[in-house]
Protein backbone atom coordinates (compact mmCIF):
# COMPACT_ATOMS: atom_id res chain seq x y z
CA UNK A 1 0.00 0.00 0.00
CA UNK A 2 2.75 2.49 0.93
CA UNK A 3 4.63 1.62 -2.25
CA UNK A 4 1.54 2.33 -4.33
CA UNK A 5 0.87 5.64 -2.54
CA UNK A 6 4.41 6.84 -3.27
CA UNK A 7 4.22 5.60 -6.87
CA UNK A 8 0.89 7.36 -7.45
CA UNK A 9 2.18 10.62 -6.01
CA UNK A 10 5.41 10.38 -8.04
CA UNK A 11 3.44 9.86 -11.24
CA UNK A 12 1.12 12.79 -10.57
CA UNK A 13 3.61 15.23 -9.03
CA UNK A 14 7.18 14.03 -9.70
CA UNK A 15 8.79 17.38 -8.88
CA UNK A 16 6.71 18.15 -5.77
CA UNK A 17 8.73 18.05 -2.53
CA UNK A 18 8.31 14.77 -0.65
CA UNK A 19 10.85 15.19 2.17
CA UNK A 20 12.00 18.54 3.52
CA UNK A 21 14.42 19.25 6.36
CA UNK A 22 16.33 22.36 7.40
CA UNK A 23 19.88 22.32 6.08
CA UNK A 24 19.19 19.65 3.45
CA UNK A 25 18.04 19.85 -0.13
CA UNK A 26 14.46 18.79 -0.81
CA UNK A 27 13.79 15.31 -2.12
CA UNK A 28 10.97 15.30 -4.64
CA UNK A 29 8.51 12.46 -5.20
CA UNK A 30 10.33 11.30 -8.32
CA UNK A 31 13.52 10.96 -6.28
CA UNK A 32 11.69 9.25 -3.44
CA UNK A 33 10.18 6.77 -5.89
CA UNK A 34 13.68 6.04 -7.17
CA UNK A 35 14.96 5.39 -3.63
CA UNK A 36 11.97 3.15 -2.83
CA UNK A 37 12.60 1.14 -6.02
CA UNK A 38 16.34 0.76 -5.30
CA UNK A 39 15.73 -0.35 -1.70
CA UNK A 40 13.08 -2.80 -2.90
CA UNK A 41 15.47 -4.26 -5.47
CA UNK A 42 18.20 -4.64 -2.83
CA UNK A 43 15.81 -6.35 -0.40
CA UNK A 44 14.66 -8.70 -3.18
CA UNK A 45 18.30 -9.61 -3.98
CA UNK A 46 18.66 -10.65 -0.33
CA UNK A 47 15.44 -12.66 -0.49
CA UNK A 48 13.55 -10.42 1.94
CA UNK A 49 9.81 -11.11 1.82
CA UNK A 50 7.13 -8.45 2.57
CA UNK A 51 6.24 -9.86 6.00
CA UNK A 52 9.85 -10.13 7.16
CA UNK A 53 11.41 -7.59 9.51
CA UNK A 54 14.32 -5.35 8.61
CA UNK A 55 15.98 -3.43 11.43
CA UNK A 56 17.07 0.12 10.61
CA UNK A 57 19.63 2.06 12.64
CA UNK A 58 20.08 5.68 11.52
CA UNK A 59 20.31 9.00 13.27
CA UNK A 60 17.42 11.40 12.69
CA UNK A 61 17.88 12.82 9.21
CA UNK A 62 16.20 12.96 5.82
CA UNK A 63 18.29 9.92 4.89
CA UNK A 64 16.74 8.00 7.79
CA UNK A 65 13.29 8.99 6.56
CA UNK A 66 14.00 7.80 3.01
CA UNK A 67 15.54 4.55 4.30
CA UNK A 68 12.49 3.96 6.51
CA UNK A 69 10.07 4.59 3.63
CA UNK A 70 12.13 2.45 1.26
CA UNK A 71 12.12 -0.50 3.63
CA UNK A 72 8.51 -0.05 4.81
CA UNK A 73 7.30 -0.05 1.19
CA UNK A 74 8.65 -3.61 0.78
CA UNK A 75 8.94 -5.21 4.23
CA UNK A 76 8.28 -4.59 7.91
CA UNK A 77 10.67 -1.84 9.04
CA UNK A 78 11.82 -1.80 12.66
CA UNK A 79 13.73 1.43 13.40
CA UNK A 80 16.12 1.20 16.35
CA UNK A 81 17.73 4.02 18.30
CA UNK A 82 21.37 4.47 17.24
CA UNK A 83 22.33 5.39 20.81
CA UNK A 84 21.52 1.90 22.14
CA UNK A 85 24.39 0.01 23.74
CA UNK A 86 25.57 -3.33 22.32
CA UNK A 87 23.52 -5.37 24.81
CA UNK A 88 20.37 -3.44 23.89
CA UNK A 89 20.97 -4.03 20.18
CA UNK A 90 21.51 -7.73 20.85
CA UNK A 91 18.22 -7.89 22.75
CA UNK A 92 16.16 -6.01 20.17
CA UNK A 93 17.65 -7.74 17.14
CA UNK A 94 16.99 -11.13 18.73
CA UNK A 95 13.52 -10.17 19.95
CA UNK A 96 12.54 -8.73 16.56
CA UNK A 97 13.91 -11.74 14.71
CA UNK A 98 15.02 -9.27 12.08
CA UNK A 99 15.99 -10.89 8.81
CA UNK A 100 18.26 -8.01 7.81
CA UNK A 101 19.93 -4.96 9.30
CA UNK A 102 20.48 -1.60 7.61
CA UNK A 103 22.81 0.85 9.35
CA UNK A 104 24.27 4.23 8.51
CA UNK A 105 27.94 4.64 7.68
CA UNK A 106 30.24 4.58 10.68
CA UNK A 107 28.44 1.80 12.55
CA UNK A 108 30.77 -1.04 11.54
CA UNK A 109 30.80 -2.37 15.11
CA UNK A 110 27.06 -3.02 14.81
CA UNK A 111 27.56 -4.91 11.57
CA UNK A 112 30.09 -7.10 13.38
CA UNK A 113 27.61 -7.71 16.20
CA UNK A 114 24.97 -8.67 13.60
CA UNK A 115 27.28 -11.22 11.99
CA UNK A 116 27.99 -12.90 15.35
CA UNK A 117 24.29 -13.59 16.02
Between 29-45 and 62-72, two packed helices, what is the crossing angle to 10 degrees?
A: 60
* Model pLDDT, residue 106: 85
In tens, the pLDDT along 92-114 reads 999 999 999 999 888 878 887 88
Question: 3-state class of 110 per DSSP?
Answer: helix
Q: Is the pTM of this model over 0.85?
A: yes
Q: What is the pLDDT of residues 22-64, one digit of tens each?
A: 999 999 999 999 999 999 999 999 999 999 999 999 999 999 9
- In the CATH scheme, what architecture does the domain 2-116 have? 3-Layer(aba) Sandwich (3.40)
Task: Give pLDDT, residue 2.
Answer: 93
45 neighbors 74 (Cβ within 8 angstroms): no
Residue spans per domain, the chain: 2-116
Instruction: Answer yes or no: are the C-beta atoms of 113 and 90 closer than 8 Å.
Output: yes
Amino acid sequence: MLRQLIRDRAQRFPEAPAILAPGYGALDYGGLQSVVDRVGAALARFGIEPAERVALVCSNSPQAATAFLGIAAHAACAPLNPSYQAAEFEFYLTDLRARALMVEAGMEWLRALWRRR
